[in-house]
Amino acid sequence: MKRSKCALICAAAALAMLCSCASAAPVAEQHTVALIAKSTETEFWLSVFAGAEAAAAEYNAKLTVVGPETEEDYETQNAMVEQAVEKGAQAIVFSAIDYENNATAIDAAAAAGVKIVAIDSSVDSSAVSTYIGTDNYAAGRMAALAALERVEGDLKVGIVNYDVSSANGQEREEGAVDEFKESGRAEIVSVINTLAEAVHAQADTAALLMDHPEINVLLAFNEPTSVGAANAVRELGLSDDVFLVGFDSNVATVDGLQEGSVDALVVQNSYAMGYLGVEAACKMLSGQGGSLETTVDTATRVVDRENLFTMDSQKALFAFE
Amino acid sequence: MKRRAVRTRLRTTTIFVTMVVAVVVVILCCCIFFFLDRYRTAMVQSARTSSAQAVSQVSNTVENYLSDMEQSMRLVEQSMTESADSRNKLLSAFLRFRPDVVAVTSYSSEGELLDCWSIGHEPKDSILENLSFDYERAAETNAPYLTAPHVESIFEGYYPWVVTMTAPLPSGTEAAWVSLDLSFSSISSYISNVGIGQRGYCFLMDSDGNIVYHPQQQLLYAGLKSEDTVRLASLRDGTYADDTVIYCVASVGDSGWRVVGVSYVDELVNRNVAEMIRLSAVLTVVVLAAALLTSWILSRLLGRPLRGLADAMESFESDADHFTYRPVGGTREVQELSGSFEHMVVRIQQLMSTVREEEVNLRKTELKALQAQINPHFLYNTLDSIAWMCEQGRNADAVNMVHALARLFRISISKGHELIPVAKEIEHAESYLQIQKYRYKNQFTYAFDVDPECLEYLCNKITLQPIIENAINHGLDLMVEEGHIDVQVKQDGGDIVFCVIDNGVGMSGEQIEAVLQRGPSDRTGIGIKNVNDRLKIYFGRQYGLHITSELDEGTCVEIRMPKVREGEYETK
């Protein structure tokens, strides 16, 4: 009789357990992810946002996208990080304007338990779980190589870079300078740091070209500076004399590539940065962060006039809407 | 005995429960297995069907769209035959009406761009490469054809993705071909909104496996996703399911385009099957619990009363006399069994008391017959003694002897009563001693010490005489000096104790045993054993004789019996 009672209790317990098991259907919780960009204007960033939204839709995350008006305003970025934490973001996908000055805000956010994913341009913080973006040093070398391969003779190089505290711009510059030095036939004539904004960049580039008429190769390291540099070259009528290597895809630079003011573009996979950044954030929040690598290199490709309309270049350059 | 019985019962219960549960488990498992198998097949079938339905719907819509476009193309073709002015009017109205047409372009027989109609955009002066028109391909075919998706490359600062529909124009017109560049806005609304399950989708590819439109086209272009279009292009129309994905391919009319539906077995089938498995598991447990409970209740219903019955039988076995049966409850069968057992108990108890009564009666009859006997030697010897007294002229002694003999016989018979007053028994003993004293020529003396309160109680007749006879024959007969016999009667609580004490040679332990076991000797009518037996039969085992003896010192025989008054024996 005692044994039967025991068995009965066991059966009841098992039943209760199974019932609770059955009723506890897994309900995926919606995570909140904030994407804080360097800018919300350029085609590069619009493409990043499209990718981020695609990932947010796929992983059922609530995505907010913000960015400062200018690509130098790290203080606004810091404020945005704080705000995102206040609003309950569980993960921040971040592209740092300033490698050093954004670090404190990111550390503070991480201390509040927010997961950090860096895309495009990293930040000096150990809280960054993964960096997703271009291998900027390699991209810089790629840009330099594009010029070296297509220009014969000695190269007098002018470099139009943007904010000096931005990690990715500096890395690209470093890669390009190294590549030029190794070639032995290139000389860096001048490096200017302008604002990441087309009008400013155009003026500064024009000034550079006026000051150094010997320049026959020009490198611009992001989308607005490339547009500005292309405009300057065209306005000065130097399309044939100056070999311009720009970065990223913009209708202006694509037009420039066809008419001659731009000679090559290093195209980053901005859509993938946005997509993979949000994907990484969602995976971390749902506890699958273990498989994340610390650095994910998104593909970069060089487009020039010859391969502009190949299928692969089309895919890289033009967003599908 | 009891332990074994309990263990057996438990084992039976356990076997019963185990068997029921095992049978239930086997049946359930078979049912669930077959059910789940069927269910999965049905789910896969339904997933395939819904996938096929979605795809055929998309296919029809796209076909409609294309036939619509072909009609538009005929309109455009027709416009080419008209004057430049009315053509411009017609085409600008057409472009306004069809916002998904990015541009209409016409080409000369050499493949040069002649004219371009587009709202808000003008073609560049120098076009690097026109992706909308492929002269070689156009020259090869005489019928309208569709290109793979490409970027519109003739405008400045405007690069939308389009597919181009190119048709040759009848000779006689200025242009040889006309092209329509179609954006994806219409197609995307047809295809993106079609979902199969939660994650399933449709996409459009051409006969070579180039993706025309995919809801996640940009993911494909960014290299984050890929479709195995090469394999899909080689498949005929139909539905193909592997372990994880169901592909459904359908051609769109004869355009060469094909719609591919992709759905996931995981969410359409496996999730439902998993849910069903969980449900089945719960059901199994419920049924098992029910089976366990039922069998437990059943075994209790049968086992408990049976155990009660077994216990009752056991206690009946150990003490049949004082057993009172309480019926056990339970099922009808058990109640019947219980009733039968009760019947049997009553019957056996009746039989037992009958047998005991008969036994007692038989013994009483036997004893009475024995008492009635008079030892003939005793009678001869006594009569010899009397005769001898008469010869010697001792008339007074002879008279006493005759009186004593008469008393002895009268009391021996006592009208057939077994129980007589103690006084009568004393009288009987005294008569006997008197006779023996004459016969043994005063070789012994005797004395009575009787508690007068004892006289009114009853005792078995001829109780003292055999003891005294034994004392004289075995104790005093062999003695040289004069013997003495003391007869005492006293109360001891609820009992009366008679003591016959002699100072004879005494008896050894073996002799005492022999005296108590031996039947009546040839010398006397009634032996000591007979006295002992009668006391036990009449009053119970605790009563009877107790002999203590010491060699050369004497013997004491103690007779114990309860106090019984006239008319009381039957009640006791």
A260 contacts on B by Cβ (under 8 Å): none
| Tens-place pLDDT, residues B27-82 | 988 988 999 899 888 988 888 888 898 899 899 998 998 898 889 998 888 888 88
DSSP string computed for B481-513: S-EEEEEEEEEETTEEEEEEEE-SS---HHHHH
In this structure, the number of other CB atoms found within 10 A of the CB of residue B493 comes to: 8
Residue-range domain boundaries for chain A: 31-134+269-299, 136-268
Separation of alpha carbons B121 and A97, rounded Å: 37
Q: Would you state the pLDDT for residue A26?
A: 47
Separation of alpha carbons A137 and A172, rounded Å: 5
A258 contacts on B by Cβ (under 8 Å): 124, 128
Scanning B247-331, the segments in alpha helix (DSSP H) are: 265, 271-318
B289 contacts on A by Cβ (under 8 Å): 11-12, 14-15
Separation of alpha carbons B440 and A282, rounded Å: 134
* Least confident range of A6-20, A197-211, B149-163, B236-250: A6-20
Tell whether A269 lies on the interface with B, counting CB pairs under 8 A: yes
Task: With cut-offs at 50, 70 and 90, classify the pLDDT of residue B541.
Answer: confident
Q: Which residues make Cβ contacts (< 8 Å) with residue B480, sequence separation at least 6?
A: none
Task: With cut-offs at 50, 70 and 90, classify the pLDDT of residue B414.
Answer: confident
Task: With cut-offs at 50, 70 and 90, classify the pLDDT of residue B327.
Answer: confident
Beta pairing partners, A115: A91
DSSP at B26: H
| Tens-place pLDDT, residues B180-193 | 999 988 888 888 88
User: Do A22 and B282 count as a contact with CB atoms less than 8 A apart?
Assistant: yes
Q: What is the 3-state secondary structure (H, E, C) of A181-195?
A: HHHCCEEEEEEEECC
Amino acid of residue B204: L
Across the interface, of A255, A259, A315, the residue whose CB is closest to B221 is A315
Q: Which CA distances in Å does B127 have to B112, B123, B131, B146?
A: 11, 8, 10, 22
| Joined tokens for residue B345 | 């108990």
Cβ contact A37:A71 at 8 Å = no
3-state DSSP call for residue B162? Answer: strand
Residue-range domain boundaries for chain B: 1-100+184-318, 319-366, 373-562
Tell me what the mean pLDDT of segment B251-263 comes to. 88
Q: Would you state the pLDDT for residue B397?
A: 87
Cβ contact B67:B153 at 8 Å = no
Across the interface, of A51, A309, A316, the residue whose CB is closest to B153 is A309
3-state DSSP call for residue A204? Answer: helix
Separation of alpha carbons A80 and A34, rounded Å: 9
User: Do A318 and B151 count as a contact with CB atoms less than 8 A apart?
Assistant: yes
Q: Which residues make Cβ contacts (< 8 Å) with residue A8, sequence separation at least 6?
A: B292, B293, B296
Whether pLDDT at A14 is above 70: no
Task: With cut-offs at 50, 70 and 90, classify the pLDDT of residue B333.
Answer: confident
Look at phi and psi of residue B166 and say left if phi exceeds 0, alpha if psi is from -120 to 50, else beta. Answer: beta
Burial string for A93-129 (b: 16+ CB within 10 Å, else e) reads: bbbbbbbebbbebbbbbbeeebbbbbbbbbbbbebbb
Cβ contact B490:B496 at 8 Å = yes
B20, B159, B280: best mutation site toward chain A, by most A Cβ within 10 Å? Answer: B159
Beta pairing partners, B199: none
Q: Can you tell me the ipTM of this complex?
A: 0.84
A4, A259, A268, A300: best mutation site toward chain B, by most B Cβ within 10 Å? Answer: A4
Cβ contact B48:B246 at 8 Å = yes
Of residues B529 and B7, the one with the higher pLDDT is B529
Amino acid of residue B314: E
Cβ contact B214:B220 at 8 Å = yes
Percent of all residues in chain B with a pLDDT value above 90, rounded to a whole number: 14
CATH class (in words) of the domain with range B373-562: alpha beta
Cα–Cα nearest to A143, from A169, A166, A104: A169
Domain A136-268 falls under CATH 3.40.50.2300: yes
Across the interface, of B10, B129, B289, the residue whose CB is closest to A309 is B129
Half-sphere exposure of B416 (CA within 13 A, CB side): 1
Across the interface, of B131, B218, B288, the residue whose CB is closest to A11 is B288
Tell me what the mean pLDDT of segment B354-381 comes to. 76
* Least confident range of B214-223, B320-329, B333-342: B320-329
A58, A305, A315: best mutation site toward chain B, by most B Cβ within 10 Å? Answer: A315
Amino acid of residue B11: R
Q: In terms of CATH, what superfamily is A31-134+269-299?
A: Response regulator (3.40.50.2300)
